Amino acid sequence: MDPVQPLKTPHGDGDHDRVDATSWVSVCPRGLWRVQKKKIPSESQQTVTKPELTALCSSGCCPTLGSLCRVQVHLKDSLGETDNSESDNRKENLAVKPEQSVAEELVATAFPRCLDSVLQVPLGDWTVLRLGEGQCDITEACLAEMRAGEKCEIQLSPVEDGSNAPVPQPAEELLPLCATIELQSFTPGRESWEMSPGEKWEWVKSHKERGGVRFRSGDVWGAADSYSRSLKLLIPLYGLIRVLEKTDPDPEREAEEQRGISNGDERNQLPSVHEFKTIKAELHSNMSLCQLKLSQPVQAKASATKAAELEPGGAKAWYRLGQACLKVNELEEAKHAFRKLLKLQPDSPAALKALKDIASREKETNVQLGQRLSKMFS
């Protein structure tokens, strides 16, 4: 599932590096939601004055991958007013102890990813998020373009999926949802291109594991988002993995490429070619399953095809490819996929049943075609 890029709408404030309003589609456990974000003018914001907080944010104007962000999210009522009933308590909790550095205090807040929530974050409390984990995609997408001390307003509305199913009502509020987000401080992070290959690989594995947890909990949209993040990070690793695939490398060229990988220790952190292809195949296969669950058979077919190409001996990939082909009524390709599955698992009841169902569908189609032809020539 390819992430949807933001649609940015600049406003004439003289700052060409920033935009006041943006619109994009984000993922939450309830599906896809359209997010409209508006920056709150700086004169109405509280700026960060603590020197220790400013020092943490000085390495970059906005949070990046891995940044720990202290954030507060409020729902806005029908009059557009934010609930500040507990503001004094929150300010007291925000105070930094003199003997404790901010870096030590900023630890990611543990909270469940709830199926009946859109915003995901605990509302009204200061929460610490690790940017890039996808714990609450909507808030993270806002934070990626905010500076310490800034606030923004967001309005959320569900994206229709083309079905006749009613739009699920979020637990927080009546639609459309309106909220404010405040970024109080953040620790330095890094863009993906600044990370070492070993660090990228650790993110790949963590996203894959998180996707499995979310799928088992029923959060199919969240699982698909995690697998998508993992696959995106695999792309820049492929060229480096190819270095490991050489059976008779040229010593000088090998030395050059080794330096590009950051010397020997970094090389040891990278997977083998076989492990790389296996993980990538598993991710595409898992993505295909999510897409089937989300009624996206065309995308599911493409994902399963990639998985089968990477790992021809993967039974799950062939099964999901067959399922996707059935959904789009491509019976010949479905038969080919299920026959491949039977070669790998000769007694597979799923493959046998699927081939039997395909034969029945083809027989029914032929009967209907014969009836139409007979009427044409009668």
Please, which pLDDT band fits residue 192 given cuts at 50, 70 and 90?
Answer: confident
Alpha helices by DSSP H, listed for the chain, are: 51-57, 87-94, 102-105, 137-143, 197-216, 220-234, 238-245, 251-260, 263-269, 273-293, 297-310, 315-327, 331-344, 349-376
What's the half-sphere exposure (Cβ side, CA atoms, 13 Å) at 144?
17
Domain range 7-190, its CATH number among 3.30.1330.60, 3.40.1000.10, 3.10.50.40, 3.40.50.20: 3.10.50.40
CB atoms within 10 A of CB 62: 19
Q: What is the model's pLDDT at position 246? A: 63
What's the half-sphere exposure (Cβ side, CA atoms, 13 Å) at 74?
18
Q: What is the model's pLDDT at position 114? A: 87
181 Cβ contact partners less than 8 Å away, ≥ 6 residues apart: 71, 72, 73, 139, 142, 143, 146, 151, 152, 153, 154
Mean pLDDT, range 210-238, rounded to an integer: 93
The tokens for 114 are 């709830």
Please, which pLDDT band fits residue 364 given cuts at 50, 70 and 90?
Answer: confident
- In 3D, which of 25, 36, 30 has the Cα closest to residue 2? 25
Give per-residue pLDDT as tens, 141-160.
999 999 999 999 999 999 87
- In 3D, which of 106, 111, 114, 150 has the Cα closest to residue 29? 114
Q: What value does the mean pLDDT of the chain take?
A: 79
Give per-residue pLDDT as tens, 48-89.
445 444 444 544 589 999 999 999 999 986 445 555 544 444
Task: Using the predicted structure, report yes or no on whether residue 297 has a pLDDT greater than 70.
Answer: yes
- Alpha-carbon distance 204 to 193, whole Å? 14
- Alpha-carbon distance 4 to 141, whole Å? 11
364 Cβ contact partners less than 8 Å away, ≥ 6 residues apart: none
Give per-residue pLDDT as tens, 177-191.
899 999 999 999 988
Give per-residue pLDDT as tens, 324-356.
999 999 999 999 999 999 999 999 999 999 999
Could you identify the residue written with the tokens 């190409």?
309
Domain ranges of the chain: 7-190, 197-232+278-367
The tokens for 353 are 């049943």
CB atoms within 10 A of CB 349: 8
* Residue 217 vs residue 164, higher pLDDT: 217
**Fold type of domain 197-232+278-367:** 1.25.40
Task: Using the predicted structure, report yes or no on whether residue 175 has a pLDDT greater than 70.
Answer: yes
- Alpha-carbon distance 122 to 57, whole Å? 24
Most confident of 21-35, 265-279, 332-346: 332-346
Q: What is the model's pLDDT at position 94? A: 42
Mean pLDDT, range 287-315, rounded to an integer: 96
Distances (CA, A) of 185 to 46, 91, 106, 257: 12, 14, 9, 38
Residues 232, 306: contact at Cβ < 8 Å?
A: no
Q: What is the model's pLDDT at position 82? A: 54
- Alpha-carbon distance 205 to 53, whole Å? 31
Please report, as a single letter, which amino acid is at residue 222.
Answer: G
The tokens for 352 are 């046998």
Q: What is the model's pLDDT at position 79? A: 47
Instruction: Give the range among 117-121, 291-295, 322-326 with minimum mean pLDDT.
Output: 117-121
